[in-house]
Every structure is written in structure tokens, then in C-alpha cells.
Amino acid sequence: MIKAERVNFIINRLEEIYPTTPIPLKHETIYQLLVAVLLSAQCTDERVNLVTPILFAKANNPYDMAQLKVAEIFDAIKSCGLAPKKSQAIKNLSGILADQYNEQVPSNYTDLEKLPGVGHKTASVVMSQGFGYPAFPIDTHIHRLAQRWGLTKIGNNVVQTEKDLKKAFPERLWNKLHLQIIFYGRQFCTARGCDGGKCDICKTCYPKRKKPLKLK
């Protein structure tokens, strides 16, 4: 398969398996989504969905969250990875949103990425899932699969992978594909479950691949 054929096959196959793409992180507001995405770094969505109800029962908006002590936030999210840093970041960004943005989450990358604990990937998820802006957030699942499927070169960083995927896929599909690829990676093309030649998409895209694909 040439790259264009792989791209078309991937789009069609993912649409067959995942015609709907519910947002994995439970939230009621964009602010809650922002906090949930921040918590998801080095933590499973399942774990985040367990701790956010506890956290949001204490405070579910920027003003109230900023009034909490860091220790109170930590107590709610302590089972998440990097909880000490995340606790401080949540308090600090909540204070900034309350003081500078009238408690509203900014709808642009520049202001989002200035918030404590918010990197480009977190901002991209919020822009995509919160505001519906076309984005292609790159996490470890997508970065790994993009290399296995020949959509980006092995060894590329996530910045280049994002550029490559945006170039490969139509913009109108970015938001849905981001979630479809994550779902597929978790179910069929896991880090240990597929070596680049075991799942349906890997085998179809590269039927002659005999050796495990080593990723850098």
C-alpha cells in the first residue's frame, strides 16, 4: 500500500469500528474538562473519572477551586500520577481563570498554554473536545500507532507527528480520528499486544512486515 491507500483504509476501518466517539473524560463544563485533561497525564482515563467527582464535589469552578488549599486538592487526586505538581497547577490555573478571565477557559492556544500545567497536548484536547476547534492532540497511543502505520517516520517527536497527521488526514476528521485512534490503540494495537504486525490495521497496511517494528 502507498501512503494514500493506508490513510483511506485507516479512515474507513476506524469508522466501521468506532462510528461514535464519546469523550472519555467525564465533565460538565469546559473548566472541568481542562482539569480532567491535566490530570490525565501519566494517569488512565478510568482513574481520572474516579477522582474528578471527589475533586469537583469540593469545588467545580475556578473561583471555588482557587480558594481550596493545595493539600485539599491533593487529597482528592492523590491516586493520580504526579499528584503534588498537578494539585499546585490546578490551584494556580484556577486562580488565574478567576482573576483574569472571569472564570472562563480561554478558547485559544496562546492563553491556554500560558496556564500552569497546560502544555500543547492538553490545550489541543480542550480546543478539540471543549470548543470543537479542529485539532489533532498527540499522546503516546497516537504517536506509537502513527509510526506503526507509516504515517510519520520512526523516531520523530510528537511535534512532527502532529504535523504529519494533520497533513495526511482531512481537517474535518481530525477531532473524531484523534479519539478513534486512541480507542483502537487501547483495544487492538497496544504497546505489548501488537508489534506492528499483529492487529488488523498493521497487517493490512504492511502485509509483508515480518519482524517486530522497533520504535524509538
- Tell me the catalytic residues: 121, 139
Q: How many residues are present in the chain?
A: 216
Fill in the DSSP letter of residue 83: H
Quote the cell numbers at residue 183.
480507542
At a CB cut-off of 8 Å and minimum separation 6, what does 22 contact? none
Would you tell me the crossing angle of helices 174-187 and 140-148 to the nearest 10 degrees? 80
Q: How many CA atoms lie within 13 A of 143 on its CB side?
A: 13
CA dihedral of residues 86, 88, 91, 95 (deg, nearest 10): -120
Please state, in angstroms and as integers, the Cα–Cα distance from residue 213 to each residue in 75, 144, 147, following that order.
42, 11, 9
